Amino acid sequence: MSAPSRSVKPLQGALLLAISALLFAFTGVGIREISASVNNESVVFFRNLVGVLFFLPLLLVRGIRPLRTTRLKSHLWRTTYGLAAMYCFFYAIAHLPLADAMLFTYSAPIFTPLIAHFWLKEPLTRRMLITSLIGLCGVLMVAKPSAALFEGAALIGLAASLLAAFAFVSIREMSDSEPATRIVFYFSLFSALFSAIPLTWSWQPLDATQLGWLLGIGLLATASQIIMSRAYGLAPPGLIGPIAYLAIVFAGIIAWLLWGETPDTLSLLGAALIFAASLLSVARRSA
């Protein structure tokens, strides 16, 4: 039996994934600012709750029909991968230097071509592997991971990367029938329900300023998720995945503008490799 038909529009997918990476970088800035006063459990929950509230206008205008699905099991698996990756990433932030934790976040594209190949039978080419490795080398140069990268907590960070890769491929798997808005809605809904459980023992009072930050983080993250889901619906994760590496470049630029964190020569060289990997990933493949 032939595989389901899915779009292959790499240029459009790459552009959307770059926009998603930019929004994700801004989301990271918000998380960095709020994490000093709000615990991880609350940040994760409100990020998902805002994602659900994001769809209320759609529900009020068009009703439940656009969100009806026959693939509830697929949405539950996508939520499992994505939410577990989120918690692992927050654990990595708490127990590893920030640069190391960020490295794990942006190393997910190295795994997506392999997972997409074995799960969805997507093509796996030498170009995909080379561009992923080039991008990862660039990330290493920018992040400059310390010796802590080889400690036990790093395994949790690695799990975050692998789980994120599975989440990206699961989006692609559903893209033949599920629009991006529906994928993100169910992810936000199920994640909000599941992430509410830890609040039973870790709830903390929040003031208006903290709630404002959490609202902004949730809106940025949800918009980034919708755009990313649309991107992976347009092109295979293995093909455009290295574009996600741009997030660390965007994060570096934002850190320079906001906090005066000037990149050194190695970081600039790493950023150049990341851009190169991004361009190569969507360049016309030779016959």
Place of tokens 């003031």: 207
- 1 domain-assigned: no
Domains identified in the chain, total number: 1
Give the dihedral sign, CA 179/181/186/191.
positive
pLDDT under 70: residue ranges of the chain: 1-7, 93-94, 96-103, 105-106, 143, 145-150, 281-287
- 252 domain-assigned: yes
Chain segment 13-45, per-residue pLDDT in tens: 889 999 998 998 888 788 878 888 888 889 889
- pLDDT, residue 190, reads 94
- 287 domain-assigned: no
Place of tokens 């903290």: 210
Rounded to a whole number of angstroms, the distance between the first and last alpha carbons of the chain is 26
- 3 domain-assigned: no
- 17 domain-assigned: yes
Nearest to 72 by CA among 177, 164, 198: 177
Look up the domain containing 47 and give its range: 10-282
Structure tokens at 249: 């470049």
- 91 domain-assigned: yes
* Phi, psi dihedral angles at 263 (to 5 degrees): -70, 145
- 5 domain-assigned: no
- pLDDT, residue 285, reads 46
- 94 domain-assigned: yes
| Separation of alpha carbons 61 and 265, rounded Å | 52
- pLDDT, residue 195, reads 93
- pLDDT, residue 102, reads 67
Place of tokens 């240029």: 11
